[in-house]
């Protein structure tokens, strides 16, 4: 029984489980994992690359003795290797504990560094909470002012709206490359030059982009700061990185040591860093999430979902991640939908995995104008390399009945 089902059984759902009995064969097959935007399994070859650093090379890279120096050499090698993959200087690579820390360092560190130049920030209301909450904190507690860019009904920002929002005291613009909930892509390559020509730092949360979009080098984002997270492309959890265009030096948001060239305090997680770099080398160029057949499969799922009464597709129909499909269902909520799918052996998401178990309406859907009652009933399918056509066919077959049962159970009696 999955975690959402357990929550549901404890009374957090709005339906009765007796109405959501799975079909007889639902639990006889392996689960269908349609939640690759939340996390991916560790690639066996990445795990193999990490093993020596869990056993033989276990020293602290900051120690000056020979065991520490061996670890330092491995850390330096990882940094040089990632810099080569990115097409940047090794000094522009900062290893972090994941995407949240990378985004926090970019937002907090840059805003605090440049606060003497101005205190105006620009972002979007559909950012991941790692960015959204950081900017909200700066506005609420540190005297910054924020302009939230409008997004259209598909979740896209218009570059001309960025230009209109810029002010003489603007010091940072943050726009994500790809939305984690609805998959919509942003025109970051157009936004970056608009900021650079005015001397304004531009940050993009590219956590969902790597491994899913074609990658040439880190400069394709036209950003001064780019956040990366390893477990989104078959690397280990607990490993991320932040590209920082030289000579920008954001203030550290952690204190307690001079690690990562004074930009991040804390002993480096060498096994995870090695895994991150190995995963990047194996899974980003070319992307480990193949455009074909994933786009075809999500389109088939979209066609099937759109034919179900009460279902509305969300996100941009073309400018979106090929592996991602999002839709809302009228007359129910995400917890009930996730529980019903889980009972059928389908692992899906209500959007952001960091909010699992929450019954709060999706902030992304609310930002694109979806009424709260429907924003509280978001389903996200995000496919990956282990999925099969048979699994897609199976979900297409069961989805109408799942939606019907859940909505029927939620319908008021009398």
Positions annotated as catalytic residues are 354
The secondary structure element, H or E, covering residue 157 is: none
Answer for the pair 191, 157: CB distance below 8 angstroms, yes or no: yes
Q: Considering Cα of 290, then 348, then 239, then 213, what sign does the dihedral take?
A: positive
Per-residue HEC secondary structure of 66-101 comes to HHHHHHHHHHHHHHHHHHHHHCCCHHHEEEECCHHH
DSSP code per residue over 129-140: HHHHHHHHHHHH
Secondary structure (3-state) at 154: coil
Answer for the pair 211, 287: CB distance below 8 angstroms, yes or no: yes
Q: Considering Cα of 183, then 181, then 334, then 5, what sign does the dihedral take?
A: positive
242-246: Cβ within 8 A, 24+ apart = 242/93, 242/94, 242/96, 242/102, 242/105, 242/106, 243/86, 243/88, 243/92, 243/93, 243/94, 243/218, 244/92, 244/94, 244/106, 245/88, 245/92, 246/89, 246/91, 246/92
CA neighbor of 326 nearest in space, from 347, 305, 342, 344: 305
Secondary structure (3-state) at 242: strand
């Amino acid at each position: 029984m999955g975690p959402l089902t357990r929550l549901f059984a404890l009374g957090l759902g709005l339906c009765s489980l007796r109405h959501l009995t799975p079909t007889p064969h639902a639990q006889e097959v392996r689960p269908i994992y349609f939640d690759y935007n939340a996390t991916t399994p560790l690639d066996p070859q990445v795990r193999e690359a990490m093993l020596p650093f869990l056993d033989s090379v276990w020293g602290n890279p900051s120690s000056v003795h020979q065991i520490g120096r061996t670890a330092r050499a491995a850390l330096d090698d990882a940094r040089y290797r990632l810099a080569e993959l990115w097409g940047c200087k090794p000094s522009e690579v900062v290893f972090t504990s994941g995407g949240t820390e990378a985004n926090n360092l970019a937002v907090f560190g840059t805003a605090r560094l440049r606060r003497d130049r101005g205190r105006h920030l620009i972002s979007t209301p559909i950012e991941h909470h790692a960015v959204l909450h950081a900017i909200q904190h700066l506005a609420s507690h540190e005297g910054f002012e924020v302009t939230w860019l409008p997004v259209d009904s598909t979740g896209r920002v218009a570059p001309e709206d960025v230009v209109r929002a810029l002010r003489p005291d603007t010091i940072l613009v943050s726009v994500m490359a790809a939305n984690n909930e609805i998959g919509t892509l942003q025109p970051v390559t157009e936004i970056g030059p608009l900021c650079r020509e005015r001397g304004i730092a531009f940050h993009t949360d590219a956590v969902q982009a790597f491994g899913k979009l074609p990658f040439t080098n880190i400069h394709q984002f036209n950003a001064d700061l780019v956040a990366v997270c390893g477990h989104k492309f078959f690397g280990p959890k607990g490993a991320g990185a932040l590209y920082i265009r030289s000579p920008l030096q954001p203030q550290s948001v952690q204190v307690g040591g001079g690690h990562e060239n004074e930009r991040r305090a804390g002993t480096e997680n060498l096994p995870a860093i090695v895994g991150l770099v190995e995963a990047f080398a194996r899974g980003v160029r070319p992307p480990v999430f193949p455009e074909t057949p994933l786009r075809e499969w999500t389109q088939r799922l979209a066609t099937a979902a759109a034919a179900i009464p009460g279902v509305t597709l969300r996100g941009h129909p073309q400018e979106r991640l090929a592996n991602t499909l999002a839709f809302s269902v009228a007359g129910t909520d995400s917890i009930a939908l996730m529980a019903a799918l889980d009972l059928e052996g389908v692992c899906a998401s209500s959007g952001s995995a960091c909010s699992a178990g929450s019954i709060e309406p999706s902030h992304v859907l609310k930002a694109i104008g979806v009424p709260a009652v429907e924003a509280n009933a978001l389903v996200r399918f995000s496919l990956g390399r282990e999925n099969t056509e048979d699994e897609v066919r199976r979900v297409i077959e069961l989805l109408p009945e799942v939606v019907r049962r859940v909505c029927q159970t939620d319908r008021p009696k009398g």
